[in-house]
Chain A
């Protein structure tokens, strides 16, 4: 059985995640061996995923951690104070 490009495109994500049934995976693989367009689509998608997973793309704003932990400190010390007050009642 041979599949057309349009069908291969529907399997690109599953192919990259290696989550396709074996039979489908083999059909896609066979198609990719002779189709330069589908191979380029697969390679470009894979390349984009590698780039988006890089930590440099989504960095935390400067000072984010410091501000967060300072706020948590206030919450924690406030909570402890409340508990101490409860105990003295």
Chain B
């Protein structure tokens, strides 16, 4: 499809990007943390993707290339706004110290139907939103968008080993925060003898 677009059928770009709207928006939101700015960054990233389509070499997936453009766009804006020091966005922090999970004696599964409840969706969004950017991006790409370790590594221009380390820490942080909250949604049933 890319070759056809480059040959002049530019309208096809609409179809090319449709599957990646959610991924690009969530990546923009992972840095901007504000819906309006994230939407602006996502739009700009898709426009840059169109303008630079000829530069896409096909060494990586199109989605990975778009994510890189999105993250660069978001970083550029933050730098311009002077909101954050950019090195803080990539700071691995204390990767040496293990994250201890929340200790539980048992786990009653929370079914997907629970996501019909706004409070449950907000609980998950808040837990992911509270992670440091380097962990948030890994979770969004690997666990929310379900990209492979290798694709995640390519999109974030880090090694697969770093993805695994950060992913593990991110998942443990989410378990630590969410397990007690989710458990309280699902109180043990009381059985009465009648």
Contact = CB atoms under 8 A, between A and B. Distances in A.
B101 A75 contact: no
Interface of B: 10-11, 13-14, 18, 21-22, 25-26, 35, 39, 42-43, 46-47, 50, 98, 100-107, 109-110, 112, 114-116, 120-121, 124-125, 128, 139-140, 143-144, 146, 149, 164, 167-168, 171-172, 174-175, 178-179, 182-183
Given A64-B21, A72-B47, A37 B105 contact: yes
Interface in A25-75: 36-37, 39-41, 43-45, 47-58, 60-61, 64-65, 67-69, 71-72, 75
Given A36-B106, A37-B103, A76-B10, A44 B182 contact: yes
Given A43-B107, A57-B121, A67-B39, A12 B101 contact: yes
B27 to A, nearest CB: 11
Contact of A40 (B14, B25, B105, B146): B105
A1 B10 CA distance: 62
Given A9-B101, A19-B149, A72-B47, A48 B182 contact: yes
Contact of B182 (A19, A47, A64, A75): A47
7 contacts: A36-B106, A37-B103, A43-B107, A44-B182, A52-B139, A57-B144, A60-B21
Contacts of B104: 37, 40-41, 44
Interface residues of A, number: 42
A13 B172 contact: yes
A10 B159 CA distance: 19
Binding site of A, secondary structure by majority: helix, strand, loop or mixed?
A: helix
A67 B172 contact: no
Contacts of A23: none
A69 B174 CA distance: 35
Contacts of B100: 9
Given A52-B124, A76-B10, A44 B50 contact: no
